[in-house]
Amino acid sequence: MQTFLDHSLCIAEETPQGRHLVFPSQYRRGKDIPHEPAVFVPYSFSGEWQTVWTTLVVRLWYSNEFEHRELWRNAAEFAFSGLTLGLKIDNQQGEGTGTISLYFDRQVPDELKAIFIEYAHRHLAKYACEVTRDRRYVCRGCGRPFKDLELIRELLAEKQSTIVCHKCRTEVELIDFIEQRLKSDPVARKILAMEETATRELDTQALEQILIGHMMAIAGEANQIFRPVTMFDFGIDGEVEFKDNDGRASGKRIYIQLKSGNSYLRTRKSDGREIFDVKNERHLEYWISQPVDVYLVIRQQNEMSRDGTIRWMNVTRYLKNRKDKQSRQIIFEGHKLDMNAVWKVLDEFFPPTRERAPIR
């Protein structure tokens, strides 16, 4: 699962049945091509079209620039203030070629169209070969599309700036605001920010997936049960249920809040202590109000590899015992999370009757 996320091949979605991976290329439902006036820019390219298509949709999804709307096998739609921005893949030309068409509601601002178009353009330039773009124009007077693409290419090659609608005689600019904004510095900066956000979000998803795997492995080594859970709105990612001294599930449990990454802890300059900042103060009340103790688990990654250290602390006990009840700063005094650490908590529920041995 981590590998799929690392390579931008899927979207991690939390559902009532747990975390699911959504693969845009594997959807069964198809979508008919939008009405001709809405097709704004088609890109033709060669290469592994499924990889090109999937990575584009996934990275747009995680860029957090647009609202998530709907996915199909051959299309994806996003939204901005209720307006649609979409893209559709057509690979009927053959396995090694494809066409991605970008389309928009007419009310979508030109600035936003330029960002969406240029993001797709740069993605295709990175992942595909022989990329060509045919800009489609629509008359602003009557809404009639210009279908003579060969004529448009000739006019652009001749440095002509306008084309006249044969129906209403409205003069339409070929080098309009959108064309002028493509590759401009503001658009480039926005796309760079979108790419950084997508990379950061995917990395976070992958790191969280790694930590879930570690939690399952550590609990299993201690012969206890870890379950990722989705019954909570926020603040709790899983639970550990302990077995009694006869090896039976007891119903005794603790809740787990998982955090993976080096950004969650900072060093306080005044005393050098590690601080976990609670961004949402509702988490504090939420943790304290739970029927069982909540443990905060933080995995910090080594700079040169994906290996990391995992520590945990009883955050419920800390919050109840501290003097400043309103502070959103938690002094993180976590201890190494391993099999022995799980057994230490188990002993609070079921004092051991004999020495435990690791489960092989």
pTM of the full structure: 0.63
Q: Is 44 helix (H, G, I), strand (E, B) or coil?
A: strand
At residue 168, does pLDDT exceed 80?
yes
At residue 357, does pLDDT exceed 60?
no
Per-residue pLDDT of 88-98, as tens digits, reads 998 755 567 88
User: Phi, psi at residue 219, to the nearest 5°?
Assistant: -65, -40
Task: Give the CATH architecture of domain 197-349.
Answer: 3-Layer(aba) Sandwich (3.40)
User: Looking up tokens 């739609």, which residue turns up?
Assistant: 77
At residue 60, does pLDDT exceed 90?
yes
CATH number of this structure's domain 1-137, picked from the four choices 3.10.20.740, 3.40.50.300, 3.30.310.200, 3.40.630.30: 3.30.310.200
User: Which pLDDT does position 37 carry in this prediction?
Assistant: 45
Q: Judge whether 80 and 129 are in contact, CB under 8 Å.
A: no
Mean pLDDT across the chain, nearest whole number?
A: 84
Query: How sure is the predictor about 352, in pLDDT bands with cuts at 50, 70 and 90?
Result: confident
Per-residue pLDDT of 292-335, as tens digits, reads 999 999 998 765 545 679 999 999 999 999 988 888 899 999 99
Tell me the domain boundaries of the chain.
1-137, 139-173, 197-349
According to DSSP, residue 166 is labeled: T
Alpha-carbon torsion (95, 99, 104, 108), positive or negative: positive
User: Which pLDDT does position 23 carry in this prediction?
Assistant: 83
